Amino acid sequence: MKIDGTAYRTIWLAPDGRQVQVIDQTKLPFVFETLTLDTLEDAAQAIETMVVRGAPLIGATAAYGMGLAMAADPSDAALEAAYTRLMATRPTAVNLRWALDDLRALLTPLAPEARRAAAYARAGEICDDDVEICASIGRHGLALIREIAAKKAPGEPVNVLTHCNAGWLATVDWGTATAPVYMAHDEGIHVHVWVDETRPRNQGAALTAYELGHHGVPHTVIPDNTGGHLMQHGQVDLVITGTDRTTATGDVCNKIGTYLKALAAKDNGVPFYVALPSPTIDFTLSDGVAEIPIEQRASREVSHMTGVSESGEVVTVDIVAAGSAVANYAFDVTPARLVTGLITEAGICPASREGIAALFPDRI
């Protein structure tokens, strides 16, 4: 996607063919800056501190992290240490495990001197595949938006609500939840997005709004508690979110607050879709609430907020009463019964074991 006329992916190889470059998402929307990852530890910290985030991009960064590790030391011990270090960065998004398992299985049987090239080649493939997968998700989701648009009066927008950032910044390009929106907008459908601000880190207000704005898609940022009210008043045609891990039975784990949107959508008869690439499906799990590990992050993410002061300075301020305890659960699980459908690269299916099995028969 483009930023001020220049096409970017979220992760790419530096000209030396070894270092890796990423967009520093902790600085957005105030400053657009890229960052160079030089070592395995740089890659691990970029994931931990959310310089890069979003399930598919976490997987892609981990893959390149294995490349950086193999460039420094291709021994068996270094391979295992890199796998362990990267796996410990964030627990919920299963794309991390998927990418690391893939790289480890590829590299382990190779002679050490062949590992560096193989790791970079595979990381590059994972990135290219992600772009293709997201484009395909976009084409399938576009059909849903076209259907709704066809029933609208001339000039009336299709209102999509989304939570967190499942946009191109969360993937390598296109995004998952936003890919259908970009495609609809590009073909001239009047689409408008309600963007949940997504406390505590504000991925909606900071990242989704930034993306949509730079692509010219009409959108409105709303406090996280607004969606239910909008749905009651017929102002949401469709919810599309992303996911960090979806079980083989269709339970969807995503950014904290997604579950409440799904409940409100169910109560108001609003279709609730989840867009996901197949590497986000954890085929080993069948009960999302019981089995998906939910990351708990630093209380400072809740107690503090960062923004631009009136004098243009980026400042961080404390917003919680001194001495109060703070909890920061980063994700929640929406049971499959609340999900209208899953939009994948292979098509749209019901959120159920049968639905997923029909699209991915050799994986289940």
Nearer to ligand MRU, 9 or 115 (CB): 9
Question: 91-120: which residues touch ligand MRU (CB under 6 A)?
Answer: 93
Q: Tell the smallest beta-carbon distance from residue 49 to ligand MRU (Å).
A: 11
Q: Tell the smallest beta-carbon distance from residue 363 to ligand MRU (Å).
A: 19
Is 166 an interacting residue with respect to ligand MRU (CB under 6 A)?
Answer: yes
Catalytic residue among 102, 244, 251, 332: 244
Query: Residues 200, 327: contact at Cβ < 8 Å?
Result: no
Output DSSP code: residue 296. B
In angstroms, rounded to a whole number, what is the distance separating the alpha carbons of residues 305 and 257? 18
What tokens does 243 get? 């996911």
- DSSP H helical ranges for the chain: 40-48, 55-72, 76-87, 94-107, 112-150, 179-186, 203, 209-215, 227-232, 258-268, 288-291, 300-303, 353-359
Is 164 an interacting residue with respect to ligand MRU (CB under 6 A)?
Answer: yes
Is 53 an interacting residue with respect to ligand MRU (CB under 6 A)?
Answer: yes
Question: 201-230: which residues touch ligand MRU (CB under 6 A)?
Answer: 203
Backbone angles phi, psi at 234, to 5 degrees: 70, 20
Nearer to ligand MRU, 149 or 207 (CB): 207
Q: Which of 255, 332, 339, 343 binds ligand MRU (CB under 6 A)?
A: 255
Q: Is the N-terminal amide bond of 29 cis, ω within 30° of 0?
A: yes
Is 242 an interacting residue with respect to ligand MRU (CB under 6 A)?
Answer: yes
Q: Which of 37, 55, 189, 343 binds ligand MRU (CB under 6 A)?
A: 55
| Residue in 282, 343, 306 with CA at minimum distance from that of residue 96 | 282
Nearer to ligand MRU, 83 or 331 (CB): 331
For this structure, is 244 an active site residue?
yes
| Residue in 134, 112, 102, 158 with CA at minimum distance from that of residue 271 | 158
Site string for ligand MRU, 307-346 (x = CB under 6 A): -----------------------x----------------
Query: Residues 267, 343: contact at Cβ < 8 Å?
Result: no
The catalytic residues are 244
For binding to ligand MRU (CB under 6 A), which residues are involved? 53-56, 93, 164, 166, 170-171, 176, 203, 242-244, 254-255, 330
